[in-house]
Chain A
Amino acid sequence: MNLLVNKSENNFEQCIKCTICTVYCPVSKVNPEYPGPKQSGPDGERLRLKNPDFYDESLKYCINCKRCEVACPSNVKIGDIIQMARIKYSQKKPTLRDTILAHTDFMGTLATPFAPVVNAITSAKPVKKILDPLLQIDKRRNLPKYSFGTFRNWYKKIAEQQKTFAEQVSYFHGCYVNYNNPQLGKDLIKIMNSLNIGVQLLEKERCCGIALISNGFIDKAAKNAKLDEQEIRKSVLEKKLPVLTTSSSCTFTIRDEHPHLLGIDNREVRDEIELATRYIYRLLSTNQSNIPEFNNGKLKIAYHTPCHMEKLGWSYYSIELLKLIPKVEVTVLDSNCCGIAGTFGFKKENHETSKKIGESLFKQIEEGGFDLVSSDCETCKWQIEMFTSKKCEHPLSILAKVLA
């Protein structure tokens, strides 16, 4: 019998008020303005059904980390309820700052051709000082660097060569790989090729919409999602190629947020969208002879589980892959939110909260004597690199480096 029988739209009624969710909410711990997941989610939903006036703008403090859902013993989709309420009831209009932060792809397109200049400008103190009062982007925040030229542009050069592999997969690279860190995409291709698999890109790709959703641009997010869905269907259903990803947040958004928040029916293809680490783990565990050779790592690595990775439950695969490196020592850090939550941590009003949420994580990283931190999420990387003295790398980038 299936435990997960969909109990329809009244999922909030499965809440039996045990209040466990509030224990694990990273925001409740540091921000008293936030009414906590139980009150904002199932309790609030019931009141909002009586009268929408019960919507409280303080729901905006929810960072959609889903840790409440992971903790809930009643399968209540607390985070989903809160997200949906924000979409349905919020009256607040997004600011210019939110618009800029939300449109990761648009900003990337503008910035990458002039990356050296843009990076220099956005990291310059005077500019940050202007961004702070003007756009309410905190001046203490290091802004993401843009790459000089996009990943897609680079890929064109190797597209033909990739076709020569007998086996093929598709790759949804996301905004981060395309505009900020094409190296991660290159690393993925290197590893896949070592397994004799070629990597193709989707014909077109739009931002998964995670930042659009959290900043209130639902129509735009839905439009993107529809286009992505078409491309994914083409790959999975027509070309019979699974769609691999490298960002835990994009993956989670496409698989689980698109259907319930944006009304995308992805049932036919959902299982074929997965993190590359999961794909590789399965490949290696079904055929041991496949395991590529790695050079000695001699590294002490701390693995940080991003919130959406915790929700997906897939950190196991990344950790197991890292353990394949000879002489590597992998420590799994306590699963705690780092505090950045996508664009949340960039906003001036959230800077302190963001830092406080991550405090115990940063402490554990600093005190552990690690060489390196590893994580499947790009925004966690930014946060960890900003608030600790350690570098943070994607597991695949680490693997690619030691590939023999």
Chain B
Amino acid sequence: MKTTTTASTHTEPWDVIIIGGGATGAGTARDCARRGLKTLMLERHDIATGATGRNHGLLHSGSRYAVTDRESAEECIKENMILKKIARHCVEKTDGLFLTLPEDDLSYQSKFIESCQAAGINVQAIDPKEALLREPSANPTIIGAVLVPDGTVDPFRLTLSNILDAKEHGAEILTYHEVLGLIKEQNRIIGVKIYDHVNKEEKDIYGNIIVNASGIWGQKIAEYADLKIKMFPAKGSLLIFGHRVNQMVLNRCRKPADADILVPGDTICLIGTTSTHVPFEEVDQMYVNPEEVDILLREGEKLSPSLVNTRILRGYAGVRPLVASDDDPSGRNVSRGIVLLDHEIRDGLEGFITITGGKLMTYRLMAEWATDLICKKLNNTTRCTTAEVNLPGSRLTKEEVNKKIISVPSSIRESAIYRMGDKAENLSCNTDIENSLVCECEEVSAGEVEYAFKELHVNNLIDLRRRTRVGMGTCQGELCACRAAGLMNQYSNLPANKCKESLSVFLNERWKGIRPIAWGDTLRESEFTSWIYEGVCGLNLSEEQLKNTKK
């Protein structure tokens, strides 16, 4: 498999080694590769598994930050416009509404509008009645509404597109490669010690510049160089609903608080978030608790009353990679601005930089800043093109792609183009067998699964889900996981028992998100899933997996 090729074939040191496969790492890899640098990106899990894949998927217009953080707001609106162009297959231009409820202070609205305008965000107060016509699911009791240019963005697709572009420009991407240490020579970092989880081996890799783009885990990476970066881990929990209730992003027009954004995304919508400070030691183990579920439901209902009757698919939690600047216990007043640390200047350690803070919206700008600094250090004068050139997937229009794969059954074609943009032309779709459905909720075909296994760095079924949405639908893998496991055996060259293991891990991962909301029909479905997999099929965790979970 492509992903198991290791860096050992390169005896020459890399120009840049990027640690972290979130949006920032992928964006930096893209930018570096486009500027002609020999680039390696390392990720200890799969791409977009940290904060990148655990947020709202909101394409911020910046208005949310306008009142409190004008600089972030300005960055957001600029990046918003860039992403709408370069990543259009990852983005939906839904627009958004900031709603004032009877319990909210209406005077905040004028302050909000003023601040937005000052930051260059085109917002407009509209009559609540008109707002309800535009978005019938919004709470009918609203007393104020402001139209903003919010949208939605799929972070998995966005990260993947950056990686595909980086690869097109010669970068190497290694997932499931964990950094265990930094190699230091005098006052310079010259490489990394890594552990290859696929081939189960340790090795050293050398590079001229090492970029720490590992989000909240950046604190630990810095510690390998005996440096201190104090992160402020703020846990945010979200709930995913079973279908798309709203077509526009709904926000509460008040100071940011719990559960005040409802974002539509693909087939679903989601409400978030809560915010709690958590100890750094817990950042790898985030569980949504019942109290958070209560808060999210209670507040969510205020944005859109129909959420009460809408099935919840799962809950999940992420950790915001905030850099601590004061000791505010909620973490809300920590700056969300971009933090770029040149450790040569900050700590007298050469060859090592950290890019952190910021947010999904500004990943490209963060990458640009980091790459500018890298280029300066390497005396590379090529200019940044990432804001101008469309990402792979966004290069053709929907109609153009549609024509290329017109033989594919319509619902599969519709879904595939939505997910992959012009990359949909690469999916195997020549036979009826390739066109048969693996995931019936999300219309993922066997051909799309094949393409993902062969071309998109898929090591297991969870990775496959991030590329294709297999198992993200209402059944959460109940019907499709086993089909996907069978195809995995066919397309990945992994032996059947590894695929079986991947299947149980996948189902367990789905269960993690289902558990906080497992009542009603969701519990019925969970019982059904257990009957099928544990009862009929006799599936269990392997002995090795059991040992690991006991740990």
Contacts and interface: CB of A to CB of B under 8 A. Distances in A.
B437 to A, nearest CB: 8
Interface in B397-413: 410-411
Contacts, number: 70
Contact size range, B? 20 to 34
A54 interface: yes
Contact of B243 (A19, A38, A49): A49
A9 B418 CA distance: 26
A74 B525 CA distance: 10
B244 A50 contact: yes
Contacts of A18: 528
A84 to B, nearest CB: 15
B267 A50 contact: yes
B521 interface: yes
A384 B525 CA distance: 41
A86 B237 CA distance: 38
Contacts of B306: 8-10
Interface string B245-276: 00000000000000000000011000000000
B244 A17 contact: no
Interface stretch (A39-47, A341-349, A391-399): A39-47
B414 interface: yes
A44 B528 CA distance: 22
A7 B306 CA distance: 11
Given A16-B521, A16-B525, A74-B524, A10 B309 contact: yes
B525 A17 contact: yes
Contact of A51 (B310, B414, B473, B475): B414
Contact of A50 (B266, B310, B478): B266
Interface in B65-109: none
A16 B528 contact: yes
A43 B441 contact: yes
B440 A47 contact: no
Interface string B140-180: 00000000000000000000000000000000000000000
A56 interface: yes
B410 A46 contact: no
Given A13-B310, A16-B475, A38-B440, A46 B528 contact: no
Given A8-B309, A53-B414, A56-B411, A17 B242 contact: no
A335 interface: no
Contact of A54 (B414, B474, B475, B524): B414
B315 to A, nearest CB: 17
Interface string B442-481: 0100000000000000000000000000000111001100
B372 to A, nearest CB: 39
Contact of B475 (A7, A12, A17, A45): A17
A78 B309 CA distance: 18
A14 interface: yes
Given A10-B310, A54-B411, A47 B524 contact: no
B277 interface: no
Nearest to B267: A50
Given A7-B309, A74-B521, A46 B440 contact: no
Contacts of B243: 10, 12-13, 45-46, 49-50
A14 B266 CA distance: 20
Interface in B376-410: 410
Interface in A5-59: 7-10, 12-19, 38-39, 43-47, 49-51, 53-54, 56
B243, B310, B418, B475 interface centre (most CB from chain A within 10 Å): B243
Contact size range, A? 20 to 34
B515 interface: no
Given A10-B311, A53-B414, A56-B411, A46 B441 contact: yes
Contacts of A9: 306, 309
- Which secondary structure characterizes the binding site on chain A? helix
Interface in A73-109: 74
A47 B528 CA distance: 23
Contacts of A45: 243
Nearest to B443: A47
A49 to B, nearest CB: 5
Contact of A17 (B266, B411, B415, B440): B440
B440 A39 contact: yes
Given A13-B474, A16-B525, A43 B440 contact: yes
Contacts of B524: 16, 74
Nearest to B476: A17
A49 B267 CA distance: 8
A13 B311 contact: yes
Contacts of A53: 414
A82 B484 CA distance: 28
Nearest to A15: B474
B244, B310, B411 interface centre (most CB from chain A within 10 Å): B411
A47 B409 CA distance: 15
Interface string B310-341: 11000000000000000000000000000000
B521 A13 contact: yes
Given A10-B310, A17-B479, A56 B244 contact: no
Given A17-B440, A38-B440, A56-B411, A47 B309 contact: no
Contacts of A44: 411
A280 B111 CA distance: 72
Given A19-B479, A43-B440, A46-B242, A14 B521 contact: yes
Nearest to A7: B309
Nearest to A36: B440
Contacts of A56: 410-411
Nearest to B442: A47
A14 B521 CA distance: 6
A7 B311 CA distance: 10
Contact of B478 (A10, A17, A46, A74): A17
A74 B523 CA distance: 13
A17 B521 contact: no
A92 to B, nearest CB: 15
A22 to B, nearest CB: 10
B521 A46 contact: no
A45 B311 CA distance: 14
A46 B267 contact: yes
Contacts of A47: 267, 411, 414-415, 443
20 contacts: A10-B243, A10-B306, A12-B243, A13-B243, A13-B310, A13-B521, A14-B521, A16-B478, A16-B525, A17-B474, A38-B440, A39-B440, A46-B441, A47-B414, A47-B415, A49-B244, A50-B244, A50-B267, A51-B418, A74-B524
Given A8-B309, A46-B244, A46-B474, 15 more contacts: A8-B306, A10-B243, A12-B243, A13-B243, A13-B311, A13-B474, A16-B521, A16-B525, A17-B475, A19-B479, A38-B440, A49-B244, A50-B244, A50-B266, A53-B414
The 7 A-B pairs with the shortest beta carbon distances in the complex, nearest first, are A13-B311, A17-B475, A16-B525, A8-B309, A46-B243, A50-B267, A13-B242
Interface of B: 242-244, 266-267, 306, 309-311, 410-411, 414-415, 418, 440-441, 443, 473-475, 478-479, 521, 524-525, 528
